[in-house]
Amino acid sequence: MLLRPRPFNSSVKVMEEKEVRKSKTKMKQVRKREPAAAQNTNKLEEDMEDYFSKEETHNIRASLLCWYQKNQRVVPWRITSPNTSQEKEEVEAKDQYQLAQRAYEVWVSEMMLQQTRVATVIEYYKRWMEKWPTIHHLAAASQEEVNHMWAGLGYYRRARFLLEGAKMVVGGQSQSQGAQFLFPTTVSALCKVPGVGQYTAGAIASIAFNQAVPVVDGNVVRVLARLKAISANPKDATTIKSFWKLAGQLVDLHCPGDFNQALMELGATICTPSTPSCSTCPISGQCRAFSLCRTNTSVCVTDYPTKVPKTKQRLEFCAVCVVEILNNQGPKTQQGAQRDNVFLVVKRPEEGLLAGLWEFPSVLMDGEADLTMRREAMDCYLKTSFKLDTKKKHCILSRNYVGECLHIFSHIRLRMYVELLVLQLKGGESFLYDKAEKDSLQWRCVDSNSIESIGLTSGVRKVYNMIHEFKQTQLPLDLTSRKRKPI
C-alpha cells in the first residue's frame, strides 16, 4: 500500500552549500557551549557530523534523476520532463497563465495525495479535473459540491482548504480575466494560501515554477534517514529541521521539480518502510545505512528512521439516529415503494473534526452506554433541537436498533450505535421547518436520491448502508401503509 505520508513542516528554506557549511560550524559551536544538550540532539549532531559532500550531492542528483526518467509511474498529474532542447524552450516559453494552470494541477494532486494511496487518487483527480479544469472553475464551486467530489478521500479539511485557497488566489476575478491573475510562485507567498504548508508550497514552487526549493514528506524522511543513517527521533522538531536542510542541499538546481518527485518516488517504490529494494536502488552507493548493514550484521537499513511509538487512538462512543420522515402524500412507484421519504441531516460545526459536513443526528456519549441511555440522550437532543417529542408514540411508525459500526480516524476510534426512527409528522418535513432550532443549528431534509450528492463522509456512508441493508432485509412491512394519526 503506497500512501503519501504526511508532509513535514518547517520554516527552513533552501540552503546553498556555503550556508550548509556555515551551519555545520555553528552546530559544532552550539555543542561546545551546551554540553548538556538533550540526548536526541547530540545523537542527531553525531549523525549529521558531515552533510553531503559535493561529490555525493552530484552523484545522488544525477543517479536519481536518471532513474526517475526511466521509472516514474504514469499518473495524470505529471507531465513528461523536456528532453530535447526544443522541448526545453517550449517549457521556458510558457506564459504566466500556463504556469498557473500547472500550479493548480500540482496543488490539487498534492492535497489529494496526502495520506492517500496513489492508485486511489488517480480516479479522484481525473473526476476533479473534469469538473473543475481550472482554478476559476473551482473558485465558483460550492463547499457542498467540493465535499461531494471529495467523499471517500478522508481528511475533509483538505477539500475545504482547496476551495478557500482557490477563492483567495483568484480573488474574485472571472475566468475571462484569467490571463491577468497571479498565482503565488514563492514558498513564502504560497504558504499564505489556506491549507498550504511548507511541503505543498515546496511542491508547487519546484514542480510548477522550477524553483530550487526542497520538499520533505514521510518518504523523503525515510530516504534521507537511511542515506545518512540518522537515528535521531524523526518526529523531533530539531530532526525535522535537519531533514529540510539536507533536502535543501540535495535539490537539483536545474530540475528541482523532477528531483523532488524522484526522491519521493524512490521512497514510495524502492526505499519502502519494511522491504526496501536496495539491490535496485540507484543511490545505494551513497547510502550509509546500506553500507553499515553490509559490514555489520546487527544493523539493518530498516533500523532507519527510528520507529516512534504511535500515539494511542482514543475510543469514543456515539449514538446515531437516522430519522426518516414519511411524506405520505406522494404517489407510489410502480414497485410500490413510497416516494418522497426524507432523511434528517445535520451540519457539523464549522470547526473541528469533519467541520461543516453533513451527518445523521448524532450524540457523543461519555463512555460505553446501553440502548436505554443512548435513546435518552438522543430523545433529549431531538426534543431540544427539533421539538420532536419521541414520547408521543403516535408519531413514531417504528424505532429499531440497527447495529454498531466502527469508524477510524487518525486519532480516534469512533464506535457508532445506529438506530432507525421512522416518523409520520403532520405536514411531513415542514413540521420541522416550523419547530427546529434556527440560530445554532444547520439542518435539512434530503431524499434518498439527493442524499448521495451532499458529500457523505465514509463514516456517514457506512451508517446509511447499514440502514439500507436493514430496510431491505429486516423491516417487515411497508410502513407507509400503517394508519396512524400524525401529531
Using CB under 6 A as the binding rule, whether residue 281 contacts ligand SF4 is answered as yes
Closest CA to 389 of 470, 256, 264, 487: 487
Shortest separation between residue 289's beta carbon and ligand SF4, angstroms = 5
Using CB under 6 A as the binding rule, whether residue 301 contacts ligand SF4 is answered as yes
Shortest separation between residue 40's beta carbon and ligand SF4, angstroms = 22
Q: Which DSSP string corresponds to 114-125? A: BTSBHHHHHHHH
Position of cell 529540510? 244
Q: Which stretch binds ligand SF4 (CB under 6 A): 17-25, 45-53, 219-227, 322-330?
A: 219-227
- Give catalytic status of residue 110 as yes or no: yes
| 267 or 455: CB nearest ligand SF4 | 267
Using CB under 6 A as the binding rule, whether residue 283 contacts ligand SF4 is answered as yes
> Which residues, other chains included, contact 282 with Cβ-Cβ below 8 Å and sequence gap of 6+?
63, 64, 66, 67, 266
Q: Which stretch binds ligand SF4 (CB under 6 A): 16-24, 283-291, 395-403, 431-439?
A: 283-291
Q: Burial, 483: exposed, middle or buried (Cβ in 10 Å; 0-12, 13-18, 19+)? A: exposed
Please state, in angstroms and rounded to a whole number, the distance separating the CA atoms of residues 376 and 387: 15
Grid cell listed for 197: 504548508
Contact, 90 vs 82, CB < 8 A? yes
Using CB under 6 A as the binding rule, whether residue 226 contacts ligand SF4 is answered as yes
Using CB under 6 A as the binding rule, whether residue 262 contacts ligand SF4 is answered as no
Using CB under 6 A as the binding rule, whether residue 155 contacts ligand SF4 is answered as no
Using CB under 6 A as the binding rule, whether residue 276 contacts ligand SF4 is answered as yes
| 282 or 459: CB nearest ligand SF4 | 282
Helix (H) or strand (E) holding 166: helix 157-170
Using CB under 6 A as the binding rule, whether residue 289 contacts ligand SF4 is answered as yes
Shortest separation between residue 81's beta carbon and ligand SF4, angstroms = 22
Please state, in angstroms and rounded to a whole number, the distance separating the CA atoms of residues 12 and 30: 18
Using CB under 6 A as the binding rule, whether residue 230 contacts ligand SF4 is answered as no
Q: Which DSSP string corresponds to 459-470? A: HHHHHHHHHHHH
Using CB under 6 A as the binding rule, whether residue 234 contacts ligand SF4 is answered as no
Of the residues 45, 110, 145, 265, only one is catalytic, namely 110
Shortest separation between residue 227's beta carbon and ligand SF4, angstroms = 6
Please state, in angstroms and rounded to a whole number, the distance separating the CA atoms of residues 310 and 167: 36
Q: Which long-range contacts (CB under 8 A, 24 or more apart) does 340-343 make?
A: 340/428, 340/447, 341/447, 341/448, 341/480, 342/428, 342/429, 342/445, 342/446, 342/447, 343/445, 343/446, 343/447, 343/448, 343/451
Q: Which stretch binds ligand SF4 (CB under 6 A): 196-204, 277-285, 385-393, 445-453?
A: 277-285
- β-sheet bridge partners, residue 320: 362, 418
Q: Which stretch binds ligand SF4 (CB under 6 A): 99-107, 281-289, 347-355, 393-401?
A: 281-289
Using CB under 6 A as the binding rule, whether residue 122 contacts ligand SF4 is answered as no
Question: What amino acid positions are annotated as catalytic residues?
Answer: 110
**Which stretches of the chain bind ligand SF4, using CB under 6 A?**
223, 226-227, 270-271, 276, 278, 281, 283-284, 287, 289-290, 301
